[in-house]
Structures are given as structure tokens and as C-alpha cells.
Amino acid sequence: MRILKERHIDLVVTDILMPGMNGLELLEKIKLLYPSIPVIVLTAHGDFYVATEALNRGAFYFLTKPFNKATIISVAEKALRLPRLTSEKHCVMPYANVSLRYRVPSEPQMVPAISHHVMRACEDMEFTAQKVNFAIPLVVDELLVNAIKHGNRFDASKMVQVEADISHKELRLTVEDEGAGFSFESLPSEFSEENLLDEQGRGIMMVRFYADDLAYEKNGARAICRVSSQPKK
């Protein structure tokens, strides 16, 4: 906490069990004083309930130990890619509905740009800070990356269609690629520790945590999800 007060910090990675102040207490203090800083929580195997509680309290991501170097780097890069938002409110359009449409080539640099646009629109619609800073960009990021990487296989000649319909109540996001599709039935459908240990399913598991609904159409080439503007009850 002293370091956060004295220096500009972009990311915090914390264990749960620590002497003095535990990780959940640290997380609560950070979210109170520095809500836009992403926090990655590290837990021992078997602490799934505690890790889920950390996500509910505002953690960006959690990883179960032991983990490899590539995993922590990948998650840290994802967190650091999130655009930081100021605490100042933008001009709000109380009764508006915003529709964003994109048709972009399968190039990774498109992901943060689209994520940023969707975040800004959700902020204008008064989504909670937790949803704006973490839930929305992670959901957009994961679904776009899946479309580019697994759907179109980085083929820049193939396009990705993104539709974001935003109201004060929710974001409805549709991401469709031009690939052959995949067996989406094989994706893990439950948010669990075992599924998060699967390298292939971890991203979709985090989408399932942050999104209120996630479904696939067109043989898996189209992903449709809904994210409420308010915390889950």
C-alpha cells in the first residue's frame, strides 16, 4: 500500500495467504483507493472458493499454483493491455442506445482498439467501474482473439464481424468469424477450478464468469454474449 501511494503502479499480483494483511484484504483496499489498477490473485490448488470470492470483490484474474512462466506472462500482458480510464465521468446520454459495428481483418492489433471503443461506450452508459475496467475488455478481448486465432487462423483475408449493442442495462456482444467453425459443445460449460487449469479453456471460463450469458451459433463461428451493467446478484 505504501508503494501504491508513492509510485504509479500498472498491475498488482498478490498471493492470498500472507502474514499481516491477506490477499483479500489487500484487494479490497486497492479497489477502494485505486479502482482502475488490475489485480491478479494467486491461489493454492483447492482454494477455488477463495479465488472466486476474489473475483467477486474486483480481482481481474486468478491463477492456481503451480503455474508456468508463459501463463503468468500471458495474463499479465492481457491486464496491462487494458486502457486505463480516468475517474472523471464522461457526458452521459441517459436514454440512449449505442450500436457499434466493426468488420475488420484478422489482425491482432484490432483487438485493443475495438475493446477500447466498447469500454468507452459502456462507461458513458454508466456501467460499474468493475464492468468497464475489467469485465468488458476481457470479454471483448477473449472472443475477438478466439475468432482471429482459432476461427480465421490469422488469415488476414478473412474478416471478423463485431456487433455491440449497449444500453444502460447491458452489453450484447456478437463476434463472428469466417472460419469453418468448431465443436463448441466440447468447451467447458461450468466455471470451475479444473476447467481453469485447461490451457485451451481458461479464456472462455473467464468469459463465462464475467458474462451473464454465452452461446454459440453457426457451428461455433458466431459467439453471442450478454454482460449486465450492474454487479451479479
- Chain segment 59-74, per-residue pLDDT in tens: 999 888 888 889 889 8
For 230, phi then psi, to 5°, come to -115, 160
Does the reported pTM lie above 0.85? no
* Distance of alpha carbon 123 from alpha carbon 130, whole angstroms: 10
Does residue 24 register a pLDDT over 70? yes
What DSSP character marks residue 176? E
Domain span(s) for CATH 3.40.50.2300 in the chain: 2-80
**Which CATH number does 2-80 carry?**
3.40.50.2300
Task: Check residue 229 and give its pLDDT.
Answer: 92
- Please give the CATH superfamily to which domain 98-228 belongs: Histidine kinase-like ATPase, C-terminal domain (3.30.565.10)
pLDDT of residue 88: 39
Give how far Cα 40 sits from Cα of 87, 141, 185, Å. Answer: 21, 17, 29
Task: Give pLDDT tens digits for 12-22.
Answer: 999 988 888 99
Gap between the Cα atoms of 215 and 173, Å rounded:
11
Strands (E), 76-169: 98-105, 159-166
Question: Which pLDDT score is estimated for 44?
Answer: 78
pLDDT value of residue 188: 61
pLDDT (0 to 100) of residue 89: 43
What pLDDT score was predicted for residue 197?
58
